[in-house]
Chain A
Amino acid sequence: MSSQSLLKWGIRAYLTLFFIYLFIPLIIMSTATFNDSRFPTIMPWKGFTLKWFDALWQDEGMWQALGNSVWVAAGVMIVALPIGVACALFLSTVEGKGKTFVYSLMMSPLLTPGVIIGISTLIFWKGLDVTGGIFLTVIAQTTFIAAYIMLMVLARLQRFDRTLEQAALSLGASHWQIFRRIMLPYLKPAIISAAVIAFLQSFENYNTTLFVKGYDTTLTVYIASKVRTGLTPAVNALGLVMISITVLLAIAYEVKRRREEAANSANHDA
């Protein structure tokens, strides 16, 4: 065998192993959902059942936690999006001394372990007599999610053609009109994807939330407590539901992308 084809086979084997590693947990978890066993496992196989979906449906704590998670995620989106966009605008405008320092400060929440963000938020707000709960969870998550939003918006902003602003100015637009008619429409795609990412990040956050949640359990924290205390395959059912939603979203995204690609190439041919 030549070294070229050896390399090819090497790559293939590696990719196969890698994606098995990536997907086997999802497959096992999904399969375990249908196992009629008291424990979340696929072995021994005790027969096919759907009763864990039923158990999930009946789980009031889960619904409660899901509600909390949605509220928190919505709150984070509302608070963190303006902050992230503002910081990106700031960084794309300002030059000179001190910028690196401010940038480092803005990046620091991303390089700080989540538990520490949770702890420091908890301590800070205790001094103001605010204890853990949905509000504090929103605040703590915003601390670092705003930085993610900032990076995503900044990436798009860096490709912005600043003569567009001058052009609008020379046509008589006010600063506010430029912001609303030129800047925001340009940033819209980045803001939408940042909002989605913010929502997902918030939804799945555990480390930070754990410290500031108070008595308001989010879905992730609820799952963790289920997993740690009363092992039940209902958790698997929840996992399967999430996997299905994710895969459906991924397929929808891929289909949309392909359609757009096709539409684009059709446009170019015209």
Chain B
Amino acid sequence: MDSSVHLDQIVMRFGDFTAVSRTDLKIESGEFFSFLGPSGCGKTTILNMVSGFLSPTEGAIRIGGEDMRNVPANKRPTSMIFQNLALFPLMTVAENIEFGLEVRGVARSERKKVSDRLLNLVALPDSGKKKVAELSGGQKQRIAIARALAVEPRVLLLDEPLSALDLKLRQHMRTELKEIQRKTGITFIYITHDQGEALTMSDRVAVMSAGKLQQVADPMTLYRYPQTVFAASFVGENNKLTGKVSSVEDDRVSLDCGPLGQLTGTTRQSLKVGEEACLFVRPEYLRRCEADTPQSLRMTINELNFEGSFVMMDARLHANQQGVRVQLNTDAYMADLTPGAEVSFNYQPSEAIVVGGAHV
């Protein structure tokens, strides 16, 4: 069955405020697709449009190729898992799961079969008779998933469903969600501001900011080759160095970074000489080097934070006092790195990404 979701030239305005700028995006059938962005970026608005709680000001939502404009929320082939889960507190666990079937007029015995099967799927057999209040946070989470799956949606919409859980459980549930998605083959649209969640679970991620799609890519590409200043800054940790393009040679770009000198990186954009651009180097790509080697940055160490598998170093660039972060492998940690020490780090041009523009 085609369960693709097509956001066909949609725009959403609330009065003068544009919550979602013109967006055209096709989410494939059976894909685990995430919208990643800070709160207020418009990602929840998109989810509400797909679910039918909001109608786009312009454009159309198509699910499996079918125009949803005149299909109300309760008739759409979607179901949603809410941030607060929204389990019905006055019903038992089984009644919650069976609710969607009950309102469709499915016979009791049939409903019971479905809820038993789903309770097994979410590894909570025999808890059908329990009250919602008797469940733990993680159990509630699973019941919410089971309830949403019971109506056999073609698209499952998830609105930051893990945000209320503690860290351990959250990480565990990531694996489980991914597993359920693989088993059921349903299209998952996942909303989050947590990049860890987006990167680990998704087939593709859309980074959003201020109502605009910044970049749509698979997690690896998104991490390695961010295409906008926002995507580069928001996804993962990044050091941003600004300058003007001084030379372009194939995908190699050199920037004139003022007091920092000439720095070279890689780009996937066509940049022109003289254009403003940013060079991004991730903390893990900076390596210890001798002073004045190519792409080297001279810095003074501020602080060293032991994070377990690595040491995160906060430093200040000599040339312009800008703060930078460097990730050091614990085994490569060197004794002469102490706060106040002056050191040089450099990177490989292939590991630094140059993105046009100067601001987010």
Contacts and interface: CB of A to CB of B under 8 A. Distances in A.
Q: How many B residues are at the interface, by size bracket?
A: 20 to 34
B75 A172 contact: yes
A115 B148 CA distance: 56
A172 B104 contact: yes
Contacts of A267: 134
Contacts of A185: 90
A248 B53 CA distance: 50
B238 interface: no
Contacts of B80: 166-167, 170
A108 B326 CA distance: 68
A174 B99 contact: no
Contacts of B298: none
A174 B104 CA distance: 9
Nearest to A163: B86
B88 interface: yes
Contact of A170 (B51, B84, B88): B51
Interface in B78-93: 78-80, 82-84, 86-88, 90
A187 to B, nearest CB: 11
Nearest to B159: A163
B90 A170 contact: no
A164 B73 CA distance: 14
A128 interface: no
A182 B74 contact: no
A163 B53 CA distance: 11
Nearest to B80: A170
B278 to A, nearest CB: 40
B151 interface: yes
Interface in B46-94: 51-53, 73-76, 78-80, 82-84, 86-88, 90
A161 interface: yes
Name the residue among A170, A181, A186 with the largest chain B CB count within 10 angstroms: A170
A170 B103 contact: no
Given A166-B53, A185-B90, A173 B99 contact: yes
Interface string A160-181: 0101101111111110010001
A167 B74 contact: no
Contacts of B134: 267
Interface in B259-286: none
Chief secondary structure at chain A's binding surface: helix
A171 B99 contact: yes
B244 interface: no
Contacts of A172: 74-75, 79, 100, 103-104, 151
B88 A177 contact: no
A168 B96 CA distance: 10
Interface string A124-164: 00000000000000000000000000000000000001011
A161 B84 contact: yes
B147 interface: yes
Contacts of B76: 170
A163 B150 CA distance: 19
A169 B90 contact: no
Given A166-B53, A166-B80, A171 B103 contact: yes
B100 A164 contact: no
Interface in A240-256: none
Interface string B93-113: 000000110111000000000
B74 A163 contact: no
11 contacts: A161-B86, A163-B82, A163-B84, A168-B88, A171-B150, A171-B151, A172-B75, A172-B100, A173-B74, A182-B88, A186-B90
Which 9 A-B residue pairings sit nearest by Cβ, starting from the closest? A171-B100, A167-B86, A170-B80, A163-B86, A173-B103, A169-B73, A177-B103, A169-B74, A185-B90
Given A172-B100, A172-B104, 16 more contacts: A166-B53, A166-B82, A167-B80, A168-B88, A169-B52, A169-B53, A170-B80, A171-B99, A171-B148, A171-B150, A173-B99, A173-B103, A174-B74, A174-B103, A181-B99, A181-B102
Interface of A: 161, 163-164, 166-174, 177, 181-182, 185-186, 267
